Homo-oligomer: A and B are copies of this chain.
Amino acid sequence: MTLRTREQYIESIRKMKAEAYMLGKPIPDVTKNGFTKLALRGIGSIYDLTRDERYADTLTRKDERGRVISAYCSIHRSREDLVNRVKTARLICQKTGVCTASRCCGWDALNALWHTTFEVDSRHGTGYHKRLRRYASMMQGKDLTCAGALTDPKGNRSLKPKHQPDKDMYLRVVDEDKKGIVVRGAKAMIGGAIGSHEIIVQPGTGFTEPEKEHAVSFAIPLNTDGIVQLVNMQPGGERKLEEGFDKGNVSCGSSESLVVFDDVFIPRERVFMNGEHDFATDVVTKFVLLHRAVLGGCLAGCGDVLTGAAALLAEYNGLSRQLSDRLTEMTYLSEALYAQALGAAHEGQSTPSGAWFPDSLLSNVTKTSVTRLPFEIQRIAEDIGGGMVACMPSELDLRSPRIGPLIEKYYRGGHGVTAEKRLRAARLIESMVAGPGRLGNLCMHGGGSPAAAQMGIRQLSDLENKKEMARRLADIS
């Protein structure tokens, strides 16, 4: 059994002592800092659930040797695997209420590279795929959490990489010898990096020949010399630094980091692309396909939690019946996302490498829906939540001997519901519409911008075929 417990996972991260900063100061122990502790619990939940027999079908796979491994370290080898990828996303979001991005992105990156290294080797006679297989096997055996990294800082977005005044705006190879390469640059918005063992880096966009120094991919432990993590401060993130229920979701958290590579040495066996710019677009595309489809599952899962929180507060307020239509609409929106993701997965195809990917067009369609519908879910949650979600007392008020009794009296709900229950439900809603776990945060830019997804749809819309349908029916020669 290769599956770690949550405690083993957390301890393994603590021991790494990766260099990381937050609010301008180093984080000496990620299990002590309230913010990072909560993020580790989010990822840690995956470890716990993976060992829970009820979820074995969804969360575990067998590797080629028959070992039970975490699905998060697996290659998608069938349509069913892709569908399970979506179901995993929904399940974990239902259980954590947050984006546990790192394991997801690492999973997607592993699959994208599985395919691309195979293709690069076929064309260029390189040996990347074999390396990657070894890496995957190690990752599976140790049940690692690997962050996935694409997004470069990009500087002036209207300029191409080769025209940037500072070339480091796209991560690049600055030196190379027999043993390995040296990389410089940064990757932004890396979900869950602070709770990851390794980081799998891919190009963030396509590159041309003169830009081939940027066409680089590798995996490396996050405590490697020269890697510096800056953990970002989310809206409402301050509350996570403290104990108490004002953070809304008191069980799990998320995190994002800027990960800086300050001339970091990458040994050759960890390099999966190095200058093959003609495949940079391919690996990005495969990664985002997975991500764009899967987001339908993530947002459905988080939508479920938010719907549940809204239903709870409606019940506490004695308004379950009156708000039934609105709750039904929330359910509709979450399920519409989920159904689309399932459709994209179902229509997936395998590649020569053996890895499966969801349908390109439907993945972009799902992502487009994901950038729209969750905002309506949030809107209805704020409607149901009432003015209380917009303004309410804090736990410190509730605990105060002077103020507490007033709150207990005036915030009591129907049928003996205590003020604390109502406040907890309201804070959970608040955190999902205006805090770190707000759906709008999860849905908009993961897997690329809305514009990128629309571009994908445009390219795949096959208008010529549709024009031909119209011509035939209108008898236009």
CB within 8 Å of B: which residues of A? 21-26, 83, 94-97, 151, 153, 155-159, 166, 168-169, 186, 188-189, 228, 230, 232-236, 238-239, 245-246, 248-252, 256, 258, 260, 262, 304-309, 311-312, 315, 317-319, 321-322, 324-325, 327-328, 331-332, 335-336, 338-347, 361-362, 365-366, 368-369, 371-372, 375-376, 378-379, 382-383, 386-388, 390-394, 396-400, 402-404, 406-407, 409-415, 421, 424-425, 427-428, 430-431, 433-435, 438, 440-441, 444-445, 449-451, 454, 457-458, 461, 463, 465-476
Contact = CB atoms under 8 A, between A and B. Distances in A.
B235 A238 contact: no
Contact of A311 (B311, B344, B425, B463): B463
A444 B157 contact: no
A309 B469 CA distance: 8
Q: Top 6 A-B pairs ranked by shortest CB distance?
A: A156-B414, A308-B466, A339-B343, A342-B343, A24-B396, A158-B318
A137 B97 CA distance: 51
A188 B186 CA distance: 47
Contacts of A424: 474-476
Contact of A156 (B168, B318, B458): B318
A463 B312 CA distance: 9
27 contacts: A21-B402, A21-B403, A25-B396, A26-B402, A188-B388, A235-B434, A245-B475, A249-B473, A256-B390, A256-B391, A258-B393, A258-B406, A307-B461, A308-B465, A315-B467, A322-B451, A324-B458, A331-B461, A332-B365, A332-B368, A339-B342, A342-B362, A345-B346, A371-B379, A383-B449, A387-B444, A434-B438
A435 to B, nearest CB: 6
A303 B36 CA distance: 34
Contact of A387 (B188, B262, B431): B188
Contacts of A383: 371, 444, 449-451
A390 B153 contact: no
A471 B328 CA distance: 19
B390 A319 contact: no
Contacts of A461: 307, 327-328, 331
A102 to B, nearest CB: 13
Contacts of A250: 473-475
Contacts of A438: 434
B158 A414 contact: yes
A378 to B, nearest CB: 7
Contacts of A378: 375, 440
Contact of A470 (B23, B258, B407, B428): B428
Given A343-B341, A379-B372, A379-B375, A21 B466 contact: no
Nearest to A361: B335
Contacts of A382: 440-441, 444
